[in-house]
Chains A and B, each alone.
Chain A
Amino acid sequence: MVDILLQQIANGLSVGMGYALVALGLTLIFGVLHVINFSHGETFMLGGLLTLIATTTLGLPYLAALPLAGLGGAVLGWGVNRIAVRPLLARRDGGADVLLATFAVSILIHQAVVMLWGPAPARIDGVPGTFELGPVVLTGQRLFVLAAGLALLVALEWMLRRTRFGVELRAVAQSQFAARVVGIDVDRVNGATFGIAAVVAALGGALLSPVILYSSSMGQVVIIKAFVVVVIGGMGSVSGAVACGLLVGLLEAVLGLVAGEGVATAVIYSLLLAMLLIRPQGLTGKRAR
Chain B
Amino acid sequence: MTSSPFILGLGAVLAVALGFLVDQPYFASVVAYGLVLGIFSLGLGLTLGRMGYVTFGHAAFFGLGAYAVALVCVASGWSYWLVLPLSLVPGIALGVLVGFVSARLGGAYFAIATLTTAEILRLVAANWIELTRGPMGILVPVGPLPWQEALGWNPAQAYLSLLIAVAAVVLALVHNLNRSPLGRAWVAVREAPDLAESLGIPTVRARVWNVALSGAVAGLAGALVLPKIFVVTPDLFGVANSATGLLAAILGGKASLLGPLLGGLVFAVLPEALRFVDAARLAIFAVILLVVVRLLPGGIVSLMPARLRPRNRAPRPDGSAPALFAAASTAATLLEVRGLRKSFAGVTATQDVSFSVRRGELVGLIGPNGAGKTTCFSQLSGFLAPDAGEIVFDGASVLGQAPHRIAARGMVRTFQHAALARNLTVYENVLTATHLALPESVLASALRLPGLRRREAARAQLALACLAALDLGARADEMAQDLPYGEQKLLAIAMALAARPRLLLLDEPAAGLNQVEAARLAEVLRGLQHAGLTMVVVDHNLKMMMAICDRIVVLHHGALIAAGTPAEVREHPEVVQAYLGEAGA
| Chain B contact surface mostly | helix
B116 within 8 A of A: yes
Tell me the bound Cα distance from A232 to B114 in angstroms.
Answer: 12
Q: What residues of B have a CB within 8 angstroms of the CB of A227 in the complex?
A: 56, 115, 239
* Stretch from B283-291, B341-349, B462-470 forming part of the interface with A: B283-291
B105 and A276: CB pair below 8 A? yes
Most chain B Cβ neighbours within 10 Å, of A38, A84, A99, A288: A99
A101 and B112: CB pair below 8 A? no
Contact with A along B268-281 (1 / 0, CB 8 A): 00000000000110
Contact with B along A271-289 (1 / 0, CB 8 A): 0110011001000000010
A265 within 8 A of B: yes
Tell me the bound Cα distance from A254 to B239 in angstroms.
Answer: 26
What residue of chain A has the Cβ atom nearest to residue B56's Cβ? A227
A228 within 8 A of B: yes
B254 within 8 A of A: yes
B285 and A107: CB pair below 8 A? yes
CB proximity to B under 8 Å, residues A51-93: 83-84, 87-88, 91-93
Q: List 28 A-B contacts (CB under 8 A).
A: A38-B243, A88-B294, A97-B293, A100-B250, A104-B289, A105-B286, A107-B282, A107-B285, A107-B286, A108-B287, A108-B290, A111-B280, A224-B239, A227-B115, A228-B115, A231-B115, A232-B112, A235-B108, A260-B127, A262-B127, A265-B119, A269-B116, A269-B120, A269-B123, A273-B112, A273-B117, A276-B109, A277-B101
Q: What residues of A have a CB within 8 angstroms of the CB of B285 in the complex?
A: 107
CB proximity to A under 8 Å, residues B96-126: 101, 104-106, 108-109, 111-113, 115-117, 119-120, 123-124, 126
Tell me the bound Cα distance from A225 to B105 in angstroms.
Answer: 22
B104 and A277: CB pair below 8 A? yes
Q: What residues of A have a CB within 8 angstroms of the CB of B113 in the complex?
A: 273, 276
Tell me the bound Cα distance from A248 to B108 in angstroms.
Answer: 21
A104 and B293: CB pair below 8 A? yes
Q: What residues of A have a CB within 8 angstroms of the CB of B119 in the complex?
A: 224, 228, 265-266, 269
A266 and B115: CB pair below 8 A? no
A266 and B243: CB pair below 8 A? no
Contact with B along A89-132 (1 / 0, CB 8 A): 00111001101110111011001100100000000000000000
A81 to chain B, nearest CB (A): 14
What residue of chain A has the Cβ atom nearest to residue B105's Cβ? A280
- Given known A-B contacts A100-B251, A273-B112, A280-B104, A266 and B286 have beta carbons under 8 A apart: no
A137 within 8 A of B: no
Q: What residues of A have a CB within 8 angstroms of the CB of B561 in the complex?
A: none
What residue of chain B has the Cβ atom nearest to residue A38's Cβ? B243
**Interface size class of chain B, counting residues whose CB lies under 8 Å from the partner chain:** 35 or more
Q: What residues of A have a CB within 8 angstroms of the CB of B250 in the complex?
A: 96-97, 99-100
Tell me the bound Cα distance from A99 to B289 in angstroms.
Answer: 11
A263 within 8 A of B: yes
Tell me the bound Cα distance from A84 to B290 in angstroms.
Answer: 8
CB proximity to A under 8 Å, residues B443-465: none
CB proximity to A under 8 Å, residues B145-177: none
**Interface size class of chain A, counting residues whose CB lies under 8 Å from the partner chain:** 35 or more
A103 and B297: CB pair below 8 A? no
| 15 more CB-based (< 8 A) A-B contacts, given A97-B293, A104-B290 | A38-B243, A84-B290, A97-B250, A99-B250, A103-B289, A111-B282, A115-B279, A227-B56, A228-B115, A232-B112, A262-B127, A265-B119, A277-B101, A280-B105, A280-B106
Contact residues of B with A, CB < 8 Å? 54, 56, 101, 104-106, 108-109, 111-113, 115-117, 119-120, 123-124, 126-127, 239, 243, 246-247, 250-251, 254-255, 279-280, 282-283, 285-287, 289-290, 293-294, 297
Tell me the bound Cα distance from A265 to B237 in angstroms.
Answer: 15
A175 within 8 A of B: no
Contact with B along A254-265 (1 / 0, CB 8 A): 000000101101
A219 to chain B, nearest CB (A): 13
Tell me the bound Cα distance from A104 to B123 in angstroms.
Answer: 27
A276 and B112: CB pair below 8 A? yes
A163 within 8 A of B: no
What residue of chain B has the Cβ atom nearest to residue A231's Cβ? B112
B283 and A108: CB pair below 8 A? yes
- Given known A-B contacts A99-B250, A108-B283, A263-B127, A93 and B297 have beta carbons under 8 A apart: yes
A270 within 8 A of B: yes
B493 to chain A, nearest CB (A): 29
Most chain A Cβ neighbours within 10 Å, of B54, B120, B123, B282: B123
What residue of chain A has the Cβ atom nearest to residue B294's Cβ? A87
CB proximity to B under 8 Å, residues A227-256: 227-228, 231-232, 235
Tell me the bound Cα distance from A263 to B134 in angstroms.
Answer: 12
A115 and B280: CB pair below 8 A? yes
A105 to chain B, nearest CB (A): 7
CB proximity to B under 8 Å, residues A135-159: none
Q: What residues of B have a CB within 8 angstroms of the CB of A277 in the complex?
A: 101, 104-105
Q: What residues of A have a CB within 8 angstroms of the CB of B126 in the complex?
A: 262
Q: What residues of A have a CB within 8 angstroms of the CB of B108 in the complex?
A: 235, 288
Tell me the bound Cα distance from A280 to B112 in angstroms.
Answer: 11
Q: What residues of B have a CB within 8 angstroms of the CB of A84 in the complex?
A: 290
A13 to chain B, nearest CB (A): 22
Q: What residues of B have a CB within 8 angstroms of the CB of A100 in the complex?
A: 247, 250-251, 289, 293
Q: What residues of B have a CB within 8 angstroms of the CB of A272 in the complex?
A: 116
Tell me the bound Cα distance from A84 to B54 in angstroms.
Answer: 19
- Given known A-B contacts A108-B283, A273-B116, A266 and B123 have beta carbons under 8 A apart: yes
Q: What residues of B have a CB within 8 angstroms of the CB of A266 in the complex?
A: 119-120, 123-124, 127
Tell me the bound Cα distance from A93 to B253 in angstroms.
Answer: 10
Q: What residues of B have a CB within 8 angstroms of the CB of A260 in the complex?
A: 127
B358 to chain A, nearest CB (A): 41
Most chain B Cβ neighbours within 10 Å, of A38, A107, A115, A232: A107
A165 to chain B, nearest CB (A): 28
From A88, A115, A228, A273, B293 is in contact (CB under 8 Å) with: A88
What residue of chain B has the Cβ atom nearest to residue A260's Cβ? B127
Tell me the bound Cα distance from A87 to B291 in angstroms.
Answer: 12
- Given known A-B contacts A100-B250, A101-B290, A107 and B116 have beta carbons under 8 A apart: no
Tell me the bound Cα distance from A231 to B242 in angstroms.
Answer: 16
Tell me the bound Cα distance from A270 to B105 in angstroms.
Answer: 16
B283 and A115: CB pair below 8 A? yes
A113 to chain B, nearest CB (A): 11
Q: What residues of A have a CB within 8 angstroms of the CB of B101 in the complex?
A: 273, 277
Tell me the bound Cα distance from A108 to B246 in angstroms.
Answer: 19
Tell me the bound Cα distance from A276 to B117 in angstroms.
Answer: 13
Q: What residues of B have a CB within 8 angstroms of the CB of A104 in the complex?
A: 286-287, 289-290, 293
- Given known A-B contacts A93-B297, A266-B120, A103 and B243 have beta carbons under 8 A apart: yes
B297 and A97: CB pair below 8 A? yes
Q: What residues of B have a CB within 8 angstroms of the CB of A93 in the complex?
A: 254-255, 297
From A96, A101, A224, A280, B294 is in contact (CB under 8 Å) with: A101
B283 and A111: CB pair below 8 A? yes
